[in-house]
Structure 1
Amino acid sequence: MSRKIKLGILGGGGDSLIGILHRVASSMYDRYELVGGVFNIDLDESIKFAEEIGIGTSRIYKDLDSLIEAENALPEHERIQVVSVLTPNFLHFPMAKKLLENKFHVICEKPMTTTYEEAKELREIQAKSNKVFAVTYTYTGYPMVRQMKEMIASGAIGKIQKIDVQYYQGWINPIIHDKEKRSNTWRLDPEKSGISCCVGDIGTHAFDMIEYVSGLHVKEILADLNYLYKDNLMDIDGTILLRFSEYVKGVLRSSQIATGEENNFTVSIYGDNAALKWEQENPNYLYMLEDGKPMQVLKPGHEYNSAFSLAGTKLPPGHPEGIFDSMGNIYKGVARAINNEEYHPGEFPGISDGLRGMNFIEKAVDSHKNGNTWVKIDEN
């Protein structure tokens, strides 16, 4: 058994859901050891948090520059090898850039950057650094999503002809209708969040998912976004038409004002022979639909699933797995890449996925602002 990979984390302190998700995920499969990082911009708070989660405080740093300087002064076998970037969006690019330039592997929350140009620059830096770079489109780690991907690739549903993806939340509803609250939420601040809220936060998950499971690339989009108030600068809802080819089309719907919705993420892929449907709130069920036949329900852990799906399944059939397990599968794939082990190309989203996500976000906003026109997605 190889030694554990030394992990550092930027952000994710306090009661951050993302922080808990990444820490738990990294502990699965016994591949990583969390040794330090910068959990908070306040050093005292960062140290206090490290004590609360039970890690030593000698490698808790005041900022990223301090982390890089101190870690690179250590013998190579003792250094942090990979850093997870869990900070607000505007910090993703400068932090990831500096980490790559200083020879650290990177696991980055989405959206990867705040602009497409930053994303292109980051890809160039990553290519030169030859370091592993993962973007945490978390839902690609679910066993039944991976089963869906493998079934479509094997021709189980025939030729794809229609794609429908929906990601509905309602969390911003109590905020958006209060002028003071919407003015003080970083998600609605372009300086911190980028040019998009809803499309950038959850629409990009949906975009990545449909390309991941279908194996197709979106060629053109037409977006109609909703800002709800004139003084609100960022979209909080949107419907986007998709063209994959002349005869393969679809729709992407995302909203953060879908009152009462929690995390309603559903993807449906329709072929000329059958269809597959998956729902994030019931992630252990993959539905297969065929004309004239009863609906089939596939579940994780059974031998009828693909090797790729089974490799991401930790429990016997009938034992539910969830989002922590999904993120854990991504971390496992990154560990394999770092250790130069053989791994499935779908085990974790890479920098090209992050690049396409940023291109999609900017083109969606452009399409809306240009009067709901069709715009092309770059092929990269």
Structure 2
Amino acid sequence: MSKKIKLAILGGGGDSLIGILHRVASAMFDQFELVGGVFNPDLEESKKFAREIGIETNRVYKDLESFIASERAMNEDERVQVVSILTPNFLHFPMAKQLLENNFHVICEKPLTTTFEEAKILQETQKKSNSIFAVTYTYTGYPMVRQMREMIADGVLGRIQKIDVQYYQGWINPIIHDEEKRANTWRLDPEKSGISCCVGDIGTHAFDMIEYVSGLEIKKILADLNYLYKDNRMDIDGTILLRFDEFVKGVIRTSQIATGEENNFTVSIYGEKAGLKWEQENPNYLYLLEEGEPMRVLKPGHVYNSKLSLDGTKLPPGHPEGIFDSMGNIYKGVARAIRNEPYHPGEFPTMRDGVRGMNFIEKAVESHQKGNIWIEIED
């Protein structure tokens, strides 16, 4: 077996859900070995966490600068090759930039940065480094999302004519209605989260998913966002109209105040011949809708699925796969890229996806602030 790729993680310590998700995903295909990182701003807490998850503490560092200096001093076959950034949003840009400048591969949580300008700088930095860069729009790793992408590319739907994506959560309700809580959570602090909460957190998933599965690019958007309270500086709900071209239009409906909703992410793509619908809370079902025909349900693991879908399927038909598997498929694609092995362009979201996501976030806020007007998304 090939030698495992040495991985370090920034952030994700303690009981962080995203930390658990990335650690499990990285271990899933035996391609990566987690050897250290900076799990917590406090070095002793970071070392304590490393011991809890069974990692030697000699490669747990007090900060990113110490990590880079120590790892760069090692022999090439011993040093960390790829770093996952799981920190709050405002740290993504400075950390990713330093890592790229020192020729590390990077796996970064979304949103890519806190501003579109930072995202463009990061893109130029990557071009100079030739490092692999992945942005973890996690849901692109689901087998039936990948099947959806391939069916659309193969023309099963015909010409696309309507796209409708909903992403509803209710988690911020206990925070937003309490003046003290909403003033003291990093999610609603522009200095730490950027200019958007809801669009920046889950709306960007919807934006990326649309372009991933449809093969189309969103050209213009018109956003109507909701802040709910005058003292709240960041959106927590919004409806965004989309234009792909003169005759192809769509909508993103996104909310974190949809009371009682958990993680209701639904993607519907309608063409002249058929439609496809996928729901994140039931990810193993892809619904095919055709005029005059009964609805068909496609499931993972069957021979009728595409090569890309089957490559992301780890269990026989009838055995549910979930979000850990989805993230694991992204890590598997990154491993292939790092090893310079052939891989499908749909295996992991790239720097370009992250940059377009930041463009979308800023343009959505701009559209709202200017009175709900159409704004172009830069190419």
Measure the CA separation in 1 of the matches of 2:224 and 2:68: 43
Same amino acid, percent of matched pairs: 81
Q: Return the offset for 1:2.
A: 1.4
CA distance, structure 2, for counterparts of residue 142 and residue 8 of structure 1: 24
Once the two structures are superposed, residues 174-219 of structure 1 have per-residue CA deviations (whole angstroms, 9 ceiling, x without a partner) of: 1000000001100000000000000000000000000000000000
What does 1:307-322 correspond to in 2, within 5 Å? Answer: 307-322=307-322
Please name the residue that 2:305 is paired with. Answer: 305
- Deviations along 1:46-98, one digit per CA (max 9) or x if unpaired, are 00000000110000000000000000111110000000000000000000000
**Paired residue for 1:256?**
256
SS in 2 for 1:147: helix
TM-score (norm 2): 1.00
Could you tell me which residue of structure 2 aligns to residue 54 of structure 1?
A: 54
CA distance in 1, matches of 2:259, 2:57: 43
Q: Give, in whole Å, the separation in 1 of the partners of 2:347 and 2:298.
A: 20
- Equivalent positions of 1:326-341 (< 5 A) are 326-341=326-341
Q: What is residue 232 of structure 1 aligned with on the other side?
A: 232
1:224-270 per-residue CA deviation (whole Å, 9 max, x = no partner) reads 00000000000000000000000000000110000000000000000
The residue aligned with 1:21 is: 21
Alignment partner, residue 210 of structure 2: 210
Q: After superposition, where does 1:9-158 map in structure 2 within 5 Å? A: 9-158=9-158
Partner Cα distance (1:102, 1:81) in 2: 11
Question: Displacement, 1:374?
Answer: 0.2
| CA apart distance, 1:121 | 0.4
Cα distance in structure 2, aligned partners of 1:321 and 1:315: 8
Is 1:294 the counterpart of 2:288 in the alignment? no
Equivalenced residues, count: 379
Structure 2 segments unaligned to the other structure (5+ residues): none
Q: What CA distance in whole angstroms lies between the structure 2 residues aligned with 1:288 and 1:173?
A: 35
Letter in 1 for 2:364: A
RMSD of equivalent CA atoms: 0.3
Structure 1 residues without counterparts, runs of 5 or longer? none
Q: What's the counterpart of residue 8 of structure 1?
A: 8
- C-alpha distance in 1 between matches for 2:31 and 2:189: 37
Q: Which amino acid aligns with 1:47?
A: K
Inter-partner Cα distance in structure 1 for 2:16 and 2:254: 23
SS of alignment partner, residue 99 of structure 2: helix
Q: Distance in 2 between matches of 1:301 and 1:346?
A: 18
TM-score after normalising by structure 1: 1.00
| 2:197 is the alignment partner of 1:200 | no
Specify the code of the residue in structure 1 equivalent to 2:350: G
| Cα drift, residue 15 of structure 1 | 0.4
Amino acid at match of 1:158: G
Q: Confirm whether residue 324 of structure 1 aligns to residue 309 of structure 2.
A: no
Give 3-state SS (helix, strand or coil) of 1:30's partner.
coil
Task: Give deviations 1:246-298, integer Å, cap 9, x for gaps.
Answer: 00000001100000000000000000000000000000000000111100000
Residues 102-146 of structure 1, C-alpha deviation per residue, up to 9 Å, x if partnerless?
110000000000000000000000011000000000000000000
Q: How far apart in 2 are the matches of 1:2 and 1:166? A: 42
Distance 2:105 2:216 in 1: 28
